[in-house]
Every structure is written in C-alpha cells, then in structure tokens.
C-alpha cells in the first residue's frame, strides 16, 4: 500500500472514531490542510459555498494556472474540490502541461504528476473523505467548532436523472458526497452558519463535529446575527433564476445544459434620421422552491414573472412586429420513474398575461408531458462524435386552455372566444465545451398547436439562435436569433431577426 493510501486510511479511521465519540472528546483529527479553515470569514461571504471551496483550494497552495483550468479566466471552485480533473476525459495540450509539466517524465504508472496535479488530487481525496466521514445518522453535518461552524442539512436525495445530468453525483470512488454538498442548483444540502459570541482569552480550535454536539450561540452576538442574515440572504438569492423563456427555468446553473441557454435578452435601436426605433426584451424571473421528494419521485415548483417585448417600426404595415406582454404564473413539475432508466415529467402551468399593447387579459392553463428515457441527448447533455461538441434534445406533448378575461381594444381577443389548443414541442441545443469554440451554442425550438376550439385553427412558432457566452463569465451572452410564428401568449404574428445582449442566472 502506498504512503498516500496509508495516510487516507488513517485519516478516515480517525474521522470515523471522532464522529462516534462523545461530545466531550477532543476536536476531530482532520487532514492538516483543512484544519484551520477561516470559518468566520467564510460565513461573512455573500456566496458561502464558493468561499468555502476557495478557502479549501487556497489551503493546498494550488497555482493560479491550474485554477484557470480552461484558460478562460473562470475559476470553477466547485469542480476543483470535487473532481480529479487530470484523470480521465480528453485534455487539451495546455491542460496536459498543467497536469504533467511541459516535459513529463514517463514511469511505470505513466507520466509523472506535476506539483499542482498532486495537490489537486490530495485535495479532492481529503475533501471527499472529510464529508463522507462527517455524515451523521440523520444525514446532517457540521464543519467547525463551538466558536464558528458551517452546518449542512440534507434536504433532497440524488435521483437517477440528477446523476445523468451531473455524473459526479454518482461517482463510485466516494467523491459524490462532496459534489452533493457543493451543488447549488439543484440544492441537496442547505447551508447555514453559527457564530458564537467572542469570549476574552479563548482560543478557537477548529475541527469536524456532528451537528448534534455543536453548541448554540447567544442570539445577542452581533457577529452571529450578521452571519446568519448573510447566509439567509444568499440562500434566497441562490434560488432565483433569470431566463429568456419559462421552459428554461428547470435547468439549474450546475447542469451542463445551462451552457446552452439563451438567457434574458435586451436590444434597443433608434434611427433619428428615419424617426424609427426597435425595442426587444424577453425576461423571465423565477424562484425555485425547495423540491419535495418521496423516493425517486420529485416535485419542483417555480413561480415566475415575465415580460415579452418585440417592437419593430417597419416601413410597411405588414412589417410591423409589436408584442408587449407582462404576466406571471407557476410552473410545477412532477418527475417520476416509469421503469428502469426511463423517467417521465408532468408539467402543470397556470398563467396570467396582460397585453400592454391592446389591453387584453388572458388566464391560461398548460399541461405537458415530457418523457425522459435517460439515454444520450434525450434527458441529458452528451458529447457528439465531433470533438468538444455536445448536444441535448427534448420532445413534449402539450395542451393549453385559454380564457380571455378582458377584451382586446382591437377586438383580436374577446371574452366570448375562450379556446383550447393541443400539440407538441420539440427542440434541442448544440454547444461547444472545453475547446477553441467554448461558449458557443445553437438552441432551436419548434412548437405546433392545433386549435380544438376558438379562433385559431393552428399556432406555430420557430425559434433559432446562435449565442456566445463572454469569456470570464458563464452568465453574460451575446447572440443572434430568428423568430417566426405566433406569440404563444397573445398570438401576434412575428417574423424577425435580432442581435441582443443576454443574461442568465
């Protein structure tokens, strides 16, 4: 057995012993590099999970060139502390140099590891061992001591769809526990901070203790109150989602599919000479409630507000595009297994829309069913035969019932014309990852609804886009798009090309 493995076994044994020891026992023995994490400073951060990961990374003295793994200026702290990035998968020439040096020395076990490679491997092993060993019988854990601690409470179990979307969650090497802890979308563990009041002459010793043995701080401590408020505020912020359309609210920021989202968009153009202007904005703001789960059945709910605006002042009357809708609703999705490796999702979506253009008010209810067979491309993002090109696709059946509660002033919608549509929606996305074209994506969506009753015998909408995520961020995009068909809320005809700035969160 190698020295590294002996150290890992000894660490695991010590951790397990400490967790089972009574509350009066000495502080837990944890890996030296994780023994003195600045818990109070971490708790003061606006992003607790990220700051915890960065503090762990700093304690292993990994160089900046290794942190910028994709050479795009983005530090993926969660990935670095939960995945051995040099083992498995395709590496670029720059990544191979980071892992094995510019002139790697070949040995019986392959190329020799760089110092960064060894440090990152040791970090992932230590972090995984620490979190696995700290799990108490009620699936809760606490990092720190009586002076300051970060508590993790498990609120949702991992399901097969979660593993397909994020394979690290199903890792057989034990790294999956740490991946669950650091995941912020979806959230498997809720995170909170407990800061005890300072006492003169006391020295803080940090360790790993079970939640039940942690002391409760005085609520009068200003530091404890400030840390608690900061963590509570961040927990609320983490659950907000900004997208360009309601269907994308389901995709979390930690999922591979997030890279292919278009995001909320904004564009404005004014021609003073011709006295013409164009305005475009599509924004959906949602809040993801904590999921309810029973075994492999998961119920998600996301209330949302939305604003859709397309305005082009064309030369000809037929060239005018004018949509101006505001509204809100609730998306709820029940995901459940049908049989092995085949899940399905039922979507229920009530919605209220008001047209600021013509004054119409519409209440609608949408029911949809989306099969999720958990095979490559359907149900999760997978790599294509082309290097660094990934793809996903979907198909869902849908039926929409609309009730006009206030007439449009142009009589395009009247309260006596309630109607019902049924049909389907298909689409997908191509996206580049970890290569020269990283950040480039091509989403496409097509909807067809047949009019079972009401004034519209059919409704079609095609949306195609090319988006590029700006370097050093995964939230800001620029893009080109084409839309052709009827607006799905108030049914104005649209046919337009546009360039826009986008944001997604």
**Token representation of residue 172:** 């057989």
**Token representation of residue 255:** 């999922």
For the chain, domain boundaries: 3-237, 241-283+302-323+352-358+384-503
Q: What is the pLDDT of residue 205?
A: 41
**Token representation of residue 445:** 């969506």
Q: What is the pLDDT of residues 72-112, one digit of tens each?
A: 778 889 999 999 999 867 788 888 899 998 877 776 667 88
- Percent of the chain past pLDDT 70, that is, above it, reads 82
3-state secondary structure of 112: coil
Q: What is the pLDDT of residues 380-396, one digit of tens each?
A: 899 999 988 999 999 99
Q: Determine the length of the chain.
A: 505
Which residues are registered as beta bridge partners of 384? none
The DSSP bridge pattern shows strands 458-469 and 419-432 to be unpaired
Residue of 61, 31, 243, 4 whose CA lies nearest to 131: 31
Max mean pLDDT among 3-7, 25-29, 197-201 falls in 197-201
Confidence of residue 442 (pLDDT cuts 50, 70, 90): very high
The DSSP bridge pattern shows strands 276-287 and 264-271 to be antiparallel
Other C-beta atoms closer than 10 Å to the C-beta of 123 total: 23
467: pLDDT strictly greater than 80: yes
3-state secondary structure of 195: strand
- Compute the distance between CA of residue 224 and CA of residue 217 in angstroms, rounded to an integer: 7
Q: What is the pLDDT of residues 109-154, one digit of tens each?
A: 678 889 999 999 999 999 998 888 776 656 777 777 778 888 888 9
Classify 196 in phi/psi space as left (phi over 0), alpha (psi -120 to 50) or beta: beta
270: pLDDT strictly greater than 80: no
Residue of 230, 240, 156, 150 whose CA lies nearest to 191: 150
- Compute the distance between CA of residue 379 and CA of residue 160 in angstroms, rounded to an integer: 11
- Compute the distance between CA of residue 431 and CA of residue 444 in angstroms, rounded to an integer: 12
- Percent of the chain past pLDDT 90, that is, above it, reads 46
Residue of 375, 392, 376, 481 whose CA lies nearest to 433: 392
Model's pTM, two decimal places? Answer: 0.81
Confidence of residue 416 (pLDDT cuts 50, 70, 90): confident
Q: What is the pLDDT of residue 398?
A: 97
Q: What is the pLDDT of residue 143?
A: 79
């Amino acid at each position: 057995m190698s020295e590294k493995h002996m150290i890992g076994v000894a660490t695991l044994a010590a951790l397990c012993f400490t967790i089972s020891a009574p509350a009066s026992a000495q502080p837990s023995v944890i890996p030296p590099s994780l023994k003195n994490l600045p818990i109070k400073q971490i708790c003061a951060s606006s992003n607790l999970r990220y700051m915890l990961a960065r503090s762990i990374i700093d304690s292993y003295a990994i160089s900046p060139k290794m942190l910028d793994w994709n050479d795009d200026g983005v530090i993926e702290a969660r990935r670095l502390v939960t995945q051995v990035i040099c083992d498995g998968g395709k590496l670029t020439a720059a990544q191979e140099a980071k892992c094995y040096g510019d002139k790697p020395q070949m040995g019986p076990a392959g190329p020799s590891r760089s110092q960064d490679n060894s440090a990152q491997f040791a970090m992932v092993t230590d972090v995984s061992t620490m979190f696995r060993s700290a799990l108490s019988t009620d699936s809760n854990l606490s990092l720190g001591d009586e002076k300051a601690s970060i508590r993790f409470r498990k609120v949702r179990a991992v399901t097969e769809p979660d593993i397909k979307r994020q394979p690290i969650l199903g890792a057989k090497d034990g790294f999956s526990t740490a991946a669950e802890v650091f995941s912020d979308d979806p959230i498997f563990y809720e995170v909170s901070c407990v800061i005890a009041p300072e006492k003169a002459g006391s020295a803080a010793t940090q360790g790993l203790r079970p939640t039940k043995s942690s002391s409760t701080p005085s609520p009068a401590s200003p530091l404890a109150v400030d840390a608690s408020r900061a963590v509570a505020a961040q927990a609320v912020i983490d659950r907000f989602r900004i997208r360009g359309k309601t269907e994308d609210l389901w995709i979390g920021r930690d999922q591979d599919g997030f890279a292919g989202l278009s995001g909320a968009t904004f564009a404005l153009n004014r021609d003073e000479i011709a006295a013409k202007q164009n305005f475009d904005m599509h924004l959906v703001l949602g809040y993801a409630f904590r999921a309810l789960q029973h075994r492999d059945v998961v119920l998600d709910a996301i209330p949302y507000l939305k604003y859709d605006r397309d305005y082009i002042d064309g030369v000809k009357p037929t060239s005018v595009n004018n949509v101006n809708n505001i509204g809100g609703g609730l998306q709820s999705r029940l995901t459940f297994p049908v049989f092995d490796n085949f899940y399905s999702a039922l979507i229920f979506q009530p919605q209220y829309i008001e047209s600021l253009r013509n004054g119409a008010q519409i209440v609608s209810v949408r029911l949809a069913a989306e099969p999720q067979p958990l095979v490559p491309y359907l149900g999760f993002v997978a790599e294509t035969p082309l290097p660094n090109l990934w793809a996903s696709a979907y198909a869902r059946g849908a039926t929409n019932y609309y009730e006009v509660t206030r007439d449009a002033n142009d009589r395009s919608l009247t309260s006596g014309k309630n109607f019902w549509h049924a049909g389907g929606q298909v689409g997908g996305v191509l996206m580049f990852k970890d290569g020269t074209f990283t950040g480039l994506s091509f989403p496409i969506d097509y909807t067809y609804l047949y009019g079972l009753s009401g004034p519209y015998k059919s409704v079609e909408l095609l949306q195609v886009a090319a988006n590029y995520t700006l370097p050093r961020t995964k939230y800001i995009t620029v893009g080109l798009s084409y839309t052709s068909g009827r607006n799905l809320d108030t049914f104005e005809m649209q046919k337009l090309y546009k360039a826009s700035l986008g944001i997604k969160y």
